[in-house]
Every structure is written in structure tokens, then in C-alpha cells.
Structure 1
């Protein structure tokens, strides 16, 4: 059987359409909203992609710049490393040079101290020789003062004991009485120079003949000739009073050797003066004084002055007790031993 199509009523269709239209509108709105959202999402995604691309491009540029900077930094680091190595090498060389200079300075300072100590030792030894051989306290005092001045300039604590010892010896030498060795030697030299001018006691001067008075020639030729002969004989023979009866008559050669021996006595007295040998000094002067009294004319002013000078010189002290420089020499020896250790 054929069924007949069912017919729908128009009111019912309208009702259905009325119901479908709001749903359709809502669906269309939802679809529009979904499309707008899709478009907006695509737009945002596109913007994000663009921004991301820009950022990626910027990051690539930054990365390239970073690589360039990193490369430059690496190269700079290498250069700095090389320069640092050079600086370290120069610093090491400078330190080695400084150490070498310090060692050289210490050696020079040590050598300077040793040279100064050797010079001071020579000065002190020279002063000791002046005292022992010549007895010249003044020269020894000058030498010790020179050594003290050098030690003061050096100003080293290790030489304090030596400086103290030298100062003590200087004080001892300053207390020694001074002898006018130079003045006594000059007076002896003057006596030696005057020996040749001193008259010998046995020598005499022939008086000048007095002119004869003019008398009237009342006698003959024979009487006049006899008087002339008698006058000539009186000139040949002369009688003179001698103060000392034992004065010897000396020949010219003996007079020469007498003067030379007297000079020799005065010279040996001068040598004894320089050696501060008071016994020999006084012995020679007493012998010279006795010879002058015995063989020379005591009435002559020159002989009298020579005797007075010989007496004063014989009474002059020429020997003194001189201190030794043992303290300074011992301090020098101790300083030398201490520097070796």
C-alpha cells in the first residue's frame, strides 16, 4: 500500500522556524566570534612570528656581534697574556737585577768597611812606630785623631769598641808632657855651625908693632941697626899668660880634627835627642862642654855663649815615659777577627 505523504500544517512550520532562527543566530554569532578569534589569533600569531623573526634576527646580529666581540676579547686576552708574560719576565729580570745590586752593594759596603779598617790599621801602626822608634808623641796623636775622624765618618756600630779604644789612647797621649825636640835640634844645629868660628885657647894674635917715635938721630949707624934687630927679635918671641897650665898646644891638623870631633859629638847628641836617649844625649853634651872648656878660649864671647848653651841643653829633659797603643791594636785585631766570622 502506498502511503500518502503526511502534510504538515503551516503554523507548525512557522513555530519550528521561529525556534530555529535564534539558534541559527546564536550559531552564526558563535561562528563569527570563532572566525574573529581565529583571525585575531592568526593575526597575533603572525605578529608574534614577525616579532619573533625580528627578535631572532636581532639575536643573530647580537650573536654575531658577540662572536666578534668574543673573538676580539680572545685576541685581546692573548695579547694581554703575551704582554703579561713579557711584564712578568721583565719583573723577574728587574727582581734579579735588584737582588744582584743589593748583593753588589753589600759587597761594596763590606769592601769599603774592610778598606777603611785596613787604612785605620795602617794609621795606628804608624802611630805606634812613631812612639816606639822616634818617641814622637805629637805625630802619634795626629795619626790617632785622623783614625778617629774616619771612624766617626763611617758611623758603624761594629766599630764602636775600636773607636772607644782609640779615644782612650788619644786621651793618654794628650797627658804626655811635650818636649821641644825641634827647638833643641835647632840649637844643636846652631852650635855645630859655630864650631869653626870658636877660637882655640893655644892660638894668639901677634900684636901690631907700635910705630917708633921719631927721635933725633944722634947715634950712629951701628946703634940704629942694633935697635932694629932687637925690635924684630921682640916680635918673634911673645910671652902670654895661660889661665889653665895644662892647655895643650895644638898643631893646625890637630885643631881641624878637634873641631870635627866636637861637631861629631854634637851630631850624636842630636841623634840621641831624636831617639829620646837621654843618657847618650847628656853624655855627648858633657863631653862637648869639657872639650870647649879645655881647648877653646874661654875669654872669648862666642865661646862663653857656646858654654852657656851647652849647659842649658844638657839640663833639658829629652826622655819621657810614652804610653803604648796596645789597646787600639787589640781592638783592631778583634774587629778583624769579628768580620771574618
Structure 2
């Protein structure tokens, strides 16, 4: 190498100069120079090799960096593809889940359908009995009669007796207990109650008021006018009645005198036996007539309800209409099964009749009796629910 020659030139010149001085020193310098040259050569060689290695290392790093960049780009593309695939997979999974849920629902419905189709005769009979009892309970609630429920329970007991299964004995015992309880309870007859209320409404226009019953009747006035025709021309009041009494007594006395004259003409011995009884008869009839006339002057009447005597004819009409409205309200309450409200209206109607109407009248007594009967029947207990039978049918259907 040229660098080595340049380094060796001073060493050769130094060796030539030193050779002239002394031979041993030149050899030592030569050795040292050779050693230094060798070391320099080794250092240059090492530097060159290190430079080559660094260049190779740089090239390797560049290559690897390029490879890493390519791999990163490829990984990014793969990640994007994986994300798209994952999104598609999630959508397909959701769709499969929905399909699976739909299939499970259809399977459940199909199982229920197969189970309903494959039920045995006993299960069908129990289901029919439960449905019939529920329908009969609704009919009893609507009509207010226990007869539909009694018929349904009796029919169910007969059907279970024909099946004759030991596991249905519990249901038969529950039906028997409910049947006894329904038969033991008194249920009001709604039709009969409505008929009685309609009859009471009809009687409201025919019952006499207390103020009407206290007035003298037209027949009594006609009889008095026919009995006393001679008193019409006389002055009114007590003087006319007294004059009538005196004329009656005088006529009786004249009749007695005529009878005594006839008896004296017939014979003197029979005068006392004929005249005295006739005089006594005339006197007693005169006294009785006077007492009767005195009694007709003053009339005493006992009134339990003073406000009943103060009713005018217009108020009497309104009272009858109010009574009929109360009775019609009670009728509507009975139809809607509101027996408490019906009892309240019946009590108000009964109080009005006792306060304002004549209690001695036959029609008034009949109306009060009808109201009493309706009030007693509206306090009866309603139709009980067959809870034991319904619980037993539910347990039998469930298979317990």
C-alpha cells in the first residue's frame, strides 16, 4: 500500500543516519519501526474491516427496516380484512341467533300443539269441566241465580263418575263440597223481586193519602142529604139541628096521643098497657136521635203524622211520583245486583208510605207487605264461588 511506503521512508532515513553512529542502535530502531509499521497495518486492516462491517450492518438494517415496513403494511391490510371478516361474522352470528330463537319459539309452539293434541281423555274432560264451571259462574253472577252453577257442578260430578279414575277422587270431593255450599246458600229470586216492585209501583197511584181518608166520602154526604130533606130550608148550624130534633119529638108525642085515643075508644082497661110502651119507645128514639146529632157536630180524629194532614193536592201528586221514583231506583239496583242501594231505597219508600198514606187501607197494607218481602229477600247471601273445584281442576291439569 502507498501509505505504508510513506511511513517507512523516515524510518529508513533514520536507520541510515543511525547506522553511521552505531550498529546496535540501528537494529533496535529497525525492529521498533517494523513493529510500528505492523501495528499500523493491523490498525488500518481492522479499520477497513470495521468499515466494511458497518456498511454491511447498515445495509442489513436498511433491508430489515424495509422488510418491517412491508410487514407492517401487510399486517395493516390483514387487520383491515380481519375487522371486516369479524364484522361479517358478528352479523352472521346475530342472524343465526335470531334464526335460532325463532326456531326455538316454533319448536315450543309445536311442542305445545303436540301436547294439546296428545292429551288423554281424562285431561280433556278436566279442561271441559273447568270451562263449564267458569261459564256457569258467570251466568250465575249475571242472572243472580245459583241454578246454572248447581247444574254445572252436578254435570261435572256425573261425568267424573263415568270416568271412574282414582286420581280424580280429589276433584270429585271438591265438587261435592262446593255443591253442598251452593245449595245451602239462599239466593234472591230477581224475577220475583221485580214483579213485586212493579206491583208496588202500580199501587202507588191507588193508595189513599191520610188527608184524603180524613175527608167524608160522597156516599156519606148523599145519605145525610136524603135523610134530612126538611133541614135544607132551615138556618144553618145548631139551631136547625135542634129544630129537627124538636119536630121529631113532637111527632112522636102526637103519635103516642093518637094511639092512646084509639086505645080509650076500644076499651078503658087496656089504655095503660098500650100507651106506656109506645111513649117509652118514642122517648128513647128521640133521645138517641138527639145524641147522634150532637155527635155529628164534632168529629175527633187521632193523627199520628201531623204533616200528612197539611198536604195539598199538588203535593200529593208529587209525593206519589217521588215514591214511584224511589221504587224504580230500587228496581234498577236489584237488576244491577246492588242490593245495599236497593235496601236503602226500599227503606225510604216504606217510611214515606207510613208517614203520608192511610195505613188502614187494604192497598196500603198490601204495598207495605210487598216492600217487606222485597227487603227481606234483598238481604240474602249471593252465589258463592266454587274455589275448591277450580283449585282441584288446576291441580289435576298440572298433573299434581
Normalised by the size of structure 1, how large is the TM-score?
A: 0.48
**Structure that is richer in helix per residue:** 2
TM-score (norm 2): 0.42
